[in-house]
Amino acid sequence: MYLVGAGPGDPGLLTRRGADLLAGADVVVYDHLASSRLLDLARPEAIRICAGKSVGHCTLNQQQIHEVLIEHARSGRAVVRLKGGDPLVFGRGGEEASALRAAGISFEIVPGVTAAVGVAAYSGIPPTHRDTASAVAFVTGHNDPRSGDGRLDWSALARFPGTLVVYMGVTHLAAICETLIGEGKPADTPAAIVESGTLPAQRTTTGTLATLPRQAVESGLRPPALLIVGEVVLLRDRLAWFERLPLFGQRIVVTRPEAELSRSAASLETMGAEVIAAPTVVVRPIADPGPLDDAIGRLESFDWLVFTSPNGVRFFIDRLDKLGLDLRAVGRLQLAAIGPTTAEALAAYHLRADLVPDLFRSEALAASLATRAAGSRVLLARADRGRTILRDQLGPLADVTQVAVYQNADADALPDGLDDRITAGSVDWITLTSSAIARRLHALLSESARQAVGTRVRLASLSPVTSETVRALGWEVAVEARDYTWDGLVRSLVEQADNEERRRITLASPEA
């Protein structure tokens, strides 16, 4: 049984030990503050139990949590109890561990980045500083300081010579600030509130003990949030970096097929964006692998093997493996990839593409192949549906065999709540990376959401071909990738954000 700290929000802040344990877990019992993205690290068949706290239907009380942990651990399963931040900092990890000990169950405790530490880094407010803060206190603001329950000595905290970091202080924020001032802490002491720290929705409000409660009301403060009180708050001007990331605060819907989603999401997230995954196409092995197996069986009769997507590469090589073959089966063939991402998928198997066209689309691949592969025997490994340009253009020049290595199946629905978010305009961008995806998204959206698309929610398209389809659907394209790759699309989004940022700055400056 493992009590594992999930970190403050950003899934990248989980420890390696935590990741290893999640990967091996049979059962994961998690809090709502633990990132749902971390649950993806567990095997698909692992049992996931939401222990809740505040989110309606999946709330267990502390006693029930103990019972669930004990029951699963007793039946010999590898149980991970995943807790937000650090399990032992305001996390009741101590209580859970004692319940386990009492039940005779052995456990390991894996620390996590506690909110105070994670939020400090991501907001640029160091809890300690050589000149201004030689101590830091982690305080719970869960109880009303005026209740007189005696759990905290607020008078001592007002005199505390260092930084105060108050957890769970949203409800009683005004009372906490007033109490500290009443106990003698200067009303102009710098103070900050950091909401949803380390997450794309992070929001920081700075002021003083006197001003913060009103600012919080005005800005509609929402938990989870930390209150930080002390001179160190002033360092934020110099040290903030997270909010300065190029796509910080942008909420981007990624509609790419499942298999490419996590990699695509990661490149946006490192730029500070919030990614909302909405796969419109799910990728599966083809229902009847007969023709593929047949082509694999006579690979020596081809000169070129052509891949038009990373999935094509993966499914083809998986199939080799299933048939008891290995990479030597393609050893004699020339390999072509439609673009750098497909070439990378080959490189992951230590295969080097002999041909990658400069422009990343079927026409360019056909043109390059037309000169290199004329008169030879070409095997096209592709999805069960998609453009047939390659076969059409190469057909007259070479002996082309086309075989489906995987199938694209349409997703039946968008993730819960996404349609509403689009209608309300509470996402900023939707990325569209193919015509099929654009059409599928259109079909899945409600009429009101369709109307918001292109107006309140902007569209970023991968290529002119995709943009054409998007326009035919009645939508406007706000950004088109200059080179037709995912990374190119991300670059174009960054440029767009830069331009808008610059415009905002120019507009704000009176000299302009």
Active site residues: 31, 53
Could you give the CA distance from residue 512 to residue 26 in angstroms, rounded to a whole number? Answer: 61
Do 255 and 276 touch, CB atoms closer than 8 A?
no
Which letter does DSSP use for residue 303 in this model?
Answer: S
Could you give the CA distance from residue 80 to residue 110 in angstroms, rounded to a whole number? Answer: 10
Closest to ligand SAH by CB, 194 vs 494, is 194
| Among the listed residues 35, 123, 189, 198, the single contact to ligand SAH using CB under 6 A | 198
Instruction: With H, G, I as helix, E, B as strand and everything else as coil, classify residue 397.
Output: coil
Nearest CA to 408 out of 293, 305, 282, 304 is that of 282
Does 8 engage in binding with ligand SAH (CB under 6 A)?
A: yes
Does 223 engage in binding with ligand SAH (CB under 6 A)?
A: yes
Does 343 engage in binding with ligand SAH (CB under 6 A)?
A: no
Does 176 engage in binding with ligand SAH (CB under 6 A)?
A: no
Do 184 and 154 touch, CB atoms closer than 8 A?
no
Closest to ligand SAH by CB, 70 vs 228, is 228
| Among the listed residues 3, 4, 9, 271, the single contact to ligand SAH using CB under 6 A | 9
Q: Which residue lies nearest ligand SAH, judged by its C-beta?
A: 85
Q: Which of the residues 145 through 174 are near ligand SAH (CB under 6 A)?
A: 167-168
Do 47 and 28 touch, CB atoms closer than 8 A?
yes
| Among the listed residues 115, 271, 336, 338, the single contact to ligand SAH using CB under 6 A | 115
Does 257 engage in binding with ligand SAH (CB under 6 A)?
A: no
- How far separated are the first and last CA of the chain, in Å rounded? 62
Min dist. Cβ of residue 12 to ligand SAH (A): 13
Does 84 engage in binding with ligand SAH (CB under 6 A)?
A: yes
CA 373 to chain centre: 41
| Among the listed residues 85, 126, 279, 310, the single contact to ligand SAH using CB under 6 A | 85
Does 226 engage in binding with ligand SAH (CB under 6 A)?
A: yes
Nearest CA to 314 out of 289, 267, 348, 266 is that of 348
| Among the listed residues 35, 114, 206, 435, the single contact to ligand SAH using CB under 6 A | 114
Stretch that binds ligand SAH, among 83-91, 179-187, 285-293, 296-304 (CB under 6 A): 83-91
E-strand stretches of 187-323: 190-195, 203-208, 225-229, 251-254, 274-277, 281-285, 304-307
Min dist. Cβ of residue 326 to ligand SAH (A): 46
Does 89 engage in binding with ligand SAH (CB under 6 A)?
A: yes
Do 407 and 397 touch, CB atoms closer than 8 A?
no
Closest to ligand SAH by CB, 114 vs 311, is 114
Tokens describing residue 180:
């500290």
The β-bridge partners of 148 are none
Closest to ligand SAH by CB, 8 vs 213, is 8
Do 82 and 38 touch, CB atoms closer than 8 A?
yes
Q: Which residues of 207-239 are buried (b: 16+ CB within 10 A; e: fewer)?
A: bbbeebbebbeeeebeebbbbbbbebbebbeee
Min dist. Cβ of residue 219 to ligand SAH (A): 15
Does 224 engage in binding with ligand SAH (CB under 6 A)?
A: yes
Closest to ligand SAH by CB, 245 vs 367, is 245
Stretch that binds ligand SAH, among 126-134, 152-160, 194-202, 287-295 (CB under 6 A): 194-202
Closest to ligand SAH by CB, 225 vs 383, is 225
Residues interacting with ligand SAH, by CB under 6 A?
8-9, 33, 83-86, 89-91, 114-115, 119, 167-168, 194, 196-199, 223-226
